[in-house]
Every structure is written in structure tokens, then in C-alpha cells.
A and B are shown apart, each in its own frame.
Chain A
Amino acid sequence: MGKRVGMEVAIAAAEAAALCKFDVASVYPITPQSHVAEHLADIVNDGRVDASFITVESEHSALSSAMGASATGARVVTATSSQGLLYMGEVMPITSSMRLPIVMLIANRAISGPINIWNDHSDIMPMRDTGWISFFAENGQEVVDMTIQAFRVGEDRRVMLPVNVNMDGFQLPHMVEPIFFPDQEEVDRFLPEYVPYATLHPDRPVSMGTLGMPEIYAEAQKAKDVAVVNSIKVVKEVWKEWEKLFGRKYEPIQSYRTRDADVALVTMGSMGETAEIAVDALRKQGVKAGLLKIKLWRPFPFAELKKAVKGIRVLAVTDRACSFGGPGGPVCSEIRSALYEESVRPAIVNYLIGLGGRDVQAEDFMEMVRRAAKGKLSEPYEFYGVRG
């Protein structure tokens, strides 16, 4: 029944992919994802998984060759970060349109400029609308679990979509954490062999990626939207099964001490753990603070959010990316929109935090809650603690 080991999370992510017996890994190295790339290569080179590792010449080629491999029926993993993810941007919507269930491990990192190698979510946010399912991990354990879950969800015949697993760059991939690994037999039972819907095969030829005229393009877009929207059922089903098998609970929105909360923080990614510390400290001071952690970014869990905010007076939504000239950070923008039709809804304040690796401590979250308790900031959104 599995084992608990101390392991660098980047390596653990690659190990999780190995437990899924990928057929092809196609990766271009970029900080802070490089150890994922190297360890996937080692796993293949050491013959631990019967697979090919392609030392591609760019991220664009990484996802393109990943798609080629997936189109022949292979189980494929790739990984990237920051500018590399943007460079994959041309390919990503096509991966989901061709319904190729590739899994991508993303070590989230700020995008240029100025050039910055540290963590925020500005790389994945521009990729929001590419039709990929997006998981956000909070710690190393979740990176491992979500990597295995990603293959299962993506390859489900009711889904057939690519999935990205987001882990905050450096904060997660570069940390050594205690992680429970399931046994190979357990993973084999959880993740059956991949049966592709259609493959490029000489005996039964198919065409993929052909031109969509105006008469059919819109229908193709609608079909993809329906697929992404409906995939939430499968995500939740798979997460329930995971909980039953391994005892670790996953929900699209995870609530922490929100039952009687007056003000609740909203986080996505590794900062959830720091925010928990802040909530505990505030509770000790008698402040009714709570926390909502978003684990599923796409498809966005609208119903789960509405349920989770019941009774909360103010939401302090944190964002780790800017939408320049827009209504606030992308997470907050989503939440405002999700709650607009509700007759009873919390007041919402928005903090942009942790940009380009800027440290955010528990005390900062406490301060955000204290100020949010007033129900309004002087601006629609605030660059928390930023000079100028």
C-alpha cells in the first residue's frame, strides 16, 4: 500500500508520470521545470519505462511532437514553464481541438519582461482559453496525485482532452517534501491502458486537423466547449474514487474553516498553505476568517463556488497575474462574474500578490483579511505591498 518518501517535487512529478507508464516524453528544458525534464529523460534512459524521450529543439516542437505521438495512440507527457508555455501557445488550442489527452506539467513562472525566473501565474493565465483542463496543486503530494489523475481524466472517453497540472515554480518543484507514492499495481488499477478514440494508423486512416469552414468551425468550437464543461463531472468522479482508494480528498474548491467565516481568502496554488496559517492565527485573535482554495481552474467550478461562498460576507480574492487594463486579476474576474446573478453574494476585494516571486507571508494574508473586512478597497483591485 504505497510508500512515503522524501523527494524533490520536480522529480516526484516525473516519477508520477512514470507510474502512469507514459509512452513518449517530449520536453525542452526551462527553469524551473528542468529537473522534471531531466528526470523524465533518466527514467526513459534507464529503461524503467518502455518509452521514448525526445530532446526536442524548442517548446513549440515539444508540444507538436507530443501531439504527433498522441495522434498515433501513445500516452504522452510534456512539461514547461513561463515563456516556454507561451511558445506552446500556438499549439495548445489544437491539442484540445484534436482531443488528444496529453498531460503537461507546468512549473509556473512569471513571463517577461522584465525577464524573471520566479513564480507567479502569468504564464498559464494567457493559456486559459485554449480548451485544456487545468489543475492547480498546492503541495508536492498534490502534484503527484494530480499528475496521475490527469491521465485518468484526460483519457476518459467522455472527456478526451489535454490536462495541465500547475505547480508553483521553485516553491514546489525545487522543494523536497514527504510524499506518499501509490504502488504500481494500485496505479495500474486506477489508470487502465489508454484506448485512443482514433489514431493515425495505416490500416484505418483518419485525417486530423483539417480546415474548418465557417459552416462547421463554430460547431467545432461549441463541441469543444461542451466537452470542457462536461469534464467537471468526470473530474469530480475521479477525485471521489481517489479519495476512496488513497484517502486524500480533492475538490474543485476546497474550503478551510469557512463554516462560520465572515471574511474568506481565495487562493490558487502553493500559497494556500501560507493562507491557512494566517487563517488559524486570525481565528486565535477572534477574527472569523476562512479560506477557499481553487484546485480546478478549467473547467471553472461555478456551482461549487456558489455553494462554497454561502454565508461569507467578504471574499478577499488573490491573483498572481495581471489583466492589464482589465477588471482585476483573472481569478477575481471569474469569481465576480460567477456570482453576479446571485441575489445574496459576498462583497469582493481583489489583491494582486506574489508577482515574479515576491514573497507573501502569513502576516500579509492577515493584513489582507483585516482590510478586506471593511468590504471595499479604495481601488477595484490592489497591487498589495507594491511600490509606485
Chain B
Amino acid sequence: MWCSGCGIGVMLGAMLRAFEELDYRNADTVVVTGIGCTGKSDDYLLTNALHTTHGRALAYATGIKAFNPKLHVVVLMGDGDSVTIGGNHFIHAARRNIDLTAIVINNFNFGMTGGQASGTTPGGSFTSTTAWGNPERDFDICALAEVAGANYVARETPYHGWELKELIKEALNKKGFSLVEVFSPCPTHFGKNNEMKEPREMLDWFKERGLPVERYRKLSAEEQENHFAIGKLVDRDAPDFNTRYEEIRVRATAQKAG
């Protein structure tokens, strides 16, 4: 149901392969989606799915995980859901370090409604609401997740399909809030308005600019401006929400009993 050249299908394929390799069962897996192109993903799934409102998928998912920690909870969002209309929930889910995996398709604009500027539209680029260039700056989603407290942060592109699956697998295995940002081509809107009309051109853009994080970090700040890091950016093991909550519950119960 997506446009030709879109990256969402590649992400979805990688996610499903990761589910299969990790032996996830439909019954114990919940995929939560929001609104927009990425929000349509649940139409393809046989797992439990909860299609929610724009920007709030993480809040719904928090409720699911808090009540039933045994479920694998995966949240699929676009850049609109995650860091534009739903930015507040994003930083709070990371701060709370709730044990779920957020996969964010970042196609740099609101694709579903016709390619308007979003919170990740790069400064200066063209969209249907910024015909002469975007005056605003864009969010670095991974950096946002890192400073907000996520345990695991990675970035990939559909050009690197196998690596994407591996990173999603790692993210699924990680306890606490994990994020995989997936840069995605949107040749229909963002590409068309920014001299990358052909799907291949956006993939080439990712291929040329995306550098493995180890190499990216060796570049000077000036050189980094023309590139972005791909791979695993953050990996830490702070206790997740349910663990902390359980600790306090046990302590409170013991004190009350004592």
C-alpha cells in the first residue's frame, strides 16, 4: 500500500525477519502504530496490533507494557508521530526507560498528507509548506533518544537491509527503551521536491552519506555535516521502568508488612 521506492516495506520486512529469528509468537507480540504512512503497517501483520492516534502510540504502548511486561511491545512510528506531534511522549518513554522497541521511519516530511514540513525536515529543504526552503532546523532523533535516557539507539537505512534487521534484533533483545531510526526514501514527496525524484537517488544519498558510526566519529565536525552515523550509537543497561517499579513495590510491601 506504499508508494514505489518507499522504505517502510523494507523496514517491515526486516522487523518480521527479526521476529522470526527471535522466535516471537503472534500471540505474545504487540505492534503499536500511530497515524500516517508508517501507521498503516499493522494492516500487514498477524501479530496483535493496536492502531492508535497521531503521536500517541508510545503512550498506548507504555500502558500495554506496564500492565503486561511479558508481551513484546514494538512501536512503529513516522517522524510525525515520534518527534513532531508526539515528541513529548517520545522523550518521556525514553526517560522512563520503558522496555519496548520503537522503530521510527524518518522520511523527513509528512508523507501521508502530501509532503509538508515536519520536525525532521532538514533546514533549507523544500516541502509543500516550505516552497522556498525550510526556515526551521530538524531534530536529530537518535540524539534526542540518547539524552532522554534510552538504553539502546541505532540508525539504519533501507539501503542496508541486513544490517537493519540485525539492529532491530538487538534492539528487541535489549531491556529498556530501545530506538531504531530508519531513514527512509520518500520519492513521491520529499525526494520529488529535493532533486531526488527517483527512488534510487534517495538510496544513493543514504549510501553516500551514511557512515558506520566508528568512521563517522573520526571525522571533523565540518566533515560530519555532510554525513550521518549509521549502526549502533548507544548501548547501555540502566534498569528499565518495570524493574524499578518492582523494586519499589517489593520494598513498600516489605515495609508495610514489617
Contact = CB atoms under 8 A, between A and B. Distances in A.
Given A38-B116, A112-B53, A55 B131 contact: no
Given A28-B85, A29-B110, A29-B116, A83 B53 contact: yes
Interface string B48-60: 0001011100000
A148 interface: no
Interface residues of B, number: 22
A89 B113 CA distance: 22
Contacts of A282: none
Contacts of A29: 110, 113-114, 116, 129
Contacts of B84: 57-58
Contacts of A46: 131
B128 to A, nearest CB: 5
Contacts of B116: 29, 34, 37-38, 41, 55
Given A41-B128, A83-B53, A55 B113 contact: no
A55 B116 CA distance: 9
A55 B85 contact: no
A35 B110 CA distance: 13
A41 B127 CA distance: 10
A55 B129 contact: yes
Nearest to B129: A41
Nearest to B135: A55
B75 interface: no
Nearest to B117: A55
B136 interface: yes
Contacts of A58: 55, 84-85
B44 interface: no
B110 to A, nearest CB: 6
Contacts of B119: 57
Contacts of A53: 129
Contacts of B132: 45
A34 B189 CA distance: 14
B130 A55 contact: yes
Contact of A34 (B85, B114, B130): B114
B191 interface: no
Interface string B6-37: 00000000000000000000000000000100
B113 A57 contact: no
Interface in B128-144: 128-132, 134, 136
14 contacts: A28-B85, A29-B110, A29-B116, A31-B113, A41-B131, A53-B129, A55-B116, A55-B129, A55-B136, A57-B84, A57-B85, A59-B85, A112-B53, A115-B35
Given A29-B114, A41-B116, 15 more contacts: A29-B129, A38-B128, A41-B129, A41-B130, A45-B130, A45-B132, A55-B129, A55-B130, A55-B134, A57-B84, A57-B85, A58-B55, A58-B85, A83-B54, A112-B53
